[in-house]
Structure 1
Amino acid sequence: MPRTLVAVFAHPDDDAYGIAGTVALHADDPDFRFVLVLATDGGAGDIREGFAATRETLGAIRRGEDEAAWRALGRVPDRHEWLGYEDGAVSGVPPEELADRVAAILAEERPDVVATFGPDGIFGHPDHIAIGAATDTAFDRLAARADRGFRRLCHGALPESVFRRWNAQRASMGLFVFDPTRTYHMRGVPDEEIGITVDCRPVADRVVAGLGEHRSQHHVMSDDPADLERWKRLVSREWWVVARPERPAGAPMLTDMFEALD
């Protein structure tokens, strides 16, 4: 049976960390359809010293980097939609408008699985939180009357235990640590909320190849972009909260976004 995944994120490179491992694992499946929706082009992102970009050109550069990243991974989206909102201003878009834009794509695709940000936005980023909430609204609206598709809604997340371990490692290495009470800082969710843990180690090299194409953002994506082995370790797992349908207490941990749907 065809299996369609629609991933809805805010910025180029959200996808490179958020869903790339799952896509790489399914890359050779002829029945797998991958649709990517990005709310912005990332044009308000940081420009590192010496990088050949201006505030006017960064958005176009990051669009090109995102497309190159999926080519480097070896599986480009079957459909790649850019909603065209201003980077940093997604939370200011009327929620109903944002939900309508996402719903229009979901209604055409009728995906089995939809992936987006949860209410924590992983980094507390207002753009992440806004596009995640709009996607939840769109999913619920369409799932209520769908005759097929809309079988699972997933929120990208970091288990609290992993967050604490990573922060402790960062402190031991003399790196800054994340403060989960601050906007734009990573934060975790309770471990018991995680419903899917994907082992991405077999495709970690492909995920890192994709990350490598986001050259304009290397300075914010990694403490040491040249340390490919550390990048591989960081992308060795993907964690997801199963937001819809409600996950029963004590349900077994899934290992794939499509597991137990057939």
Structure 2
Amino acid sequence: MSAPRVLALVVAHPDDDAYGLAGTVALHEYDPGFRFILVHATDGGAGQVDPAYPPLHEPLGRIRRREMDAAWTAHGRPPDRHEWLDYDDGALAGVPQTELTDRIGVILAEERPDVVATFGPDGITGHPDHIAVGAATDVAFSDLRDDGGPGLLRLVHGALRRSTWERWNRGRILHGLDPWDAGRMYDLHPVPDEQIGIEVDVSTVAHRVVAGLMEHRTQRHVVSPGVPPDAEEDARWARAVGAEALVIAWPPRPAEAAVLGDVFEGLPEPG
């Protein structure tokens, strides 16, 4: 029997974790000993709110924490460990990187995950919080990986294939929406197709990813702009989240290497 695998995801805000790795978690939920660690640097309390959401009578961050819990309950496989670092939303770029790195590093050192996932240098949307938490996680991973302890076998960055980005942009134009600009903050930023090192087919569990995604109700204008909760749009979203693309940030990936089909594929057995 294979040894248990541990997966850690480090992000900035609630809803950053709603897709990109949620399908992978669902695919591995019944693996013996599988453990999923989730870290949020902020509670998203400074974010905007969907205009259709009722008036707020409590802090947005408190609502978004509940939405995160509801999302993973709807998904069906909540994290085994979840940590809030409790930084102010929108302020991560001003936190000393050594501090953020140390706090993330403590969690990674305790858990020794086989795979760590976070944002790449573009933050997927160019959001400064995303970029800051991704950079700090990269350093924490690097600091720990050579200490002789177990785990820390692979570091991956969430990504969007340029070919997918271009296809989605054509759809936006056809529907009268402004196309994304790859250099504009808050628009989706693509990476060249050849940089994708892992692409996981999660189509069989895509409905669970969508169920979690839709629980982020205050952020509906961000995660599903203009999408009403009906069967047709649920099916569209299921197609959109049916594959999870990742860049392998470590170990170095040969230029002609085959694209892997799972985050744990090809790793040496733990221990």
TM-score normalised by the chain length of structure 2: 0.94
Task: Determine if contact 1:44/1:55 at 8 Å carries over to the other structure.
Answer: no
User: Structure 1, unaligned stretches of length 5 or more?
Assistant: none
Separation of aligned partners in 1, 2:84 and 2:146? 26
Deviates more, 1:71-80 or 1:24-33: 24-33
SS at match of 1:16: coil
What do residues 98-157 of structure 1 show as CA deviations (whole Å, max 9, x unaligned)?
Answer: 000100000000110000000011101100000000000000000021321010000000
Separation of aligned partners in 1, 2:136 and 2:57? 28
Give % identity: 60
Tell me how far 1:234 sits from its aligned partner: 1.2
TM-score normalised by the chain length of structure 1: 0.97
Aligned to 2:109: 107
Task: Determine if contact 1:43/1:55 at 8 Å carries over to the other structure.
Answer: no
Separation of aligned partners in 1, 2:57 and 2:163? 38
Separation of aligned partners in 2, 1:110 and 1:77? 15
State the 4+ residue runs in structure 1 displaced beyond 2 angstroms.
48-56
Counterpart check, 1:252 vs 2:258: yes
Measured on the aligned residues, the alpha-carbon RMSD in Å equals 1.2
Aligned to 1:220: 222
Separation of aligned partners in 2, 1:88 and 1:95? 15
Separation of aligned partners in 2, 1:185 and 1:221? 12
Query: CA 1:245–1:55 in structure 2 vs 1: closer, same or farther (change >3 Å)?
Result: farther
Aligned to 2:97: 95
Spell out the pairing of 1:96-135 with structure 2 (5 A cutoff).
96-135=98-137
Task: Determine if contact 1:47/1:54 at 8 Å carries over to the other structure.
Answer: no
Query: CA 1:181–1:141 in structure 2 vs 1: closer, same or farther (change >3 Å)?
Result: same
Task: Determine if contact 2:70/2:215 at 8 Å carries over to the other structure.
Answer: yes
What do residues 16-58 of structure 1 show as CA deviations (whole Å, max 9, x unaligned)?
Answer: 0121111111112232100000011011111223523548511
Aligned AA (2:245): W
Query: CA 1:168–1:253 in structure 2 vs 1: closer, same or farther (change >3 Å)?
Result: same
Counterpart check, 1:158 vs 2:164: no
Tell me how far 1:162 sits from its aligned partner: 1.0
SS at match of 2:116: strand
Aligned to 1:193: 195
Task: Determine if contact 2:198/2:260 at 8 Å carries over to the other structure.
Answer: yes
SS at match of 1:38: strand
Aligned AA (1:107): A
Aligned AA (2:250): R
1:45 is aligned, of 10, 32, 47, to 47
Tell me how far 1:81 sits from its aligned partner: 0.3
What do residues 206-227 of structure 1 show as CA deviations (whole Å, max 9, x unaligned)?
Answer: 1111112111111221131422
Q: How many residues align?
A: 262
Separation of aligned partners in 2, 1:55 and 1:38? 23
Task: Determine if contact 2:200/2:245 at 8 Å carries over to the other structure.
Answer: yes
Aligned to 2:141: 139
